[in-house]
């Protein structure tokens, strides 16, 4: 029987972020990412949104699935992120998250 690995997401202000203001860092699956809200916006700018399953972030006037936004910004495959992890990350960066029923 396989054991489920517990994923820990640590989100904090980057030491360098003090001068830039909005940069945060987070660790996901032992990889550290330092991003700004603008990095997320830039990552999805030229990509049409995929179909939203449950959680979406509004960027511009479009609804993007939370996992897609985080995957594009980090350069990691979306399968590496749970919806809950992507939700928390985007919330910390100040995005409004919508829940679809």
Q: State how far the Cα of 78 lies from the Cα of 93, in Å rounded to an integer.
A: 18
> Does position 21 have pLDDT exceeding 50, yes or no?
no
Strands 55-59 and 97-99: antiparallel
pLDDT tens profile 42-82:
999 999 999 999 999 999 899 999 999 999 999 999 999 99
In-domain check, residue 64: yes
Q: State how far the Cα of 23 lies from the Cα of 92, in Å rounded to an integer.
A: 11
In-domain check, residue 2: no
In-domain check, residue 24: yes
Sign of CA dihedral 91, 68, 36, 12: positive
Q: State how far the Cα of 32 lies from the Cα of 6, in Å rounded to an integer.
A: 17
SS3 content of the chain, % helix, strand, coil (to 5): 35, 25, 40
Range of the domain at 34: 10-99
In-domain check, residue 52: yes
In-domain check, residue 3: no
Q: What is the mean pLDDT of residues 26-34?
A: 77
pTM: 0.74
| Length, in residues, of the chain | 101
| Residue 51: per-residue pLDDT | 93
In-domain check, residue 1: no
The count of domains in the chain is 1
In-domain check, residue 25: yes
In-domain check, residue 68: yes
Helix (H) or strand (E) holding 40: helix 37-44
């Amino acid at each position: 029987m396989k054991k489920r690995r517990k994923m820990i997401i640590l989100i904090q202000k980057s030491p360098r972020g003090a001068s830039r203001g909005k940069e945060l860092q987070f660790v996901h699956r032992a990889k550290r990412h330092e991003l700004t809200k603008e990095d997320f916006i830039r990552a999805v700018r030229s990509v049409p949104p995929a179909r939203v399953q449950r959680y979406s972030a509004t960027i511009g006037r479009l609804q993007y699935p939370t996992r897609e936004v985080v995957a594009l910004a980090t350069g990691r495959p979306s399968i590496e992120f749970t919806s809950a992890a992507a939700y928390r990350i985007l919330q910390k960066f100040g995005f409004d998250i919508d829940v679809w029923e």
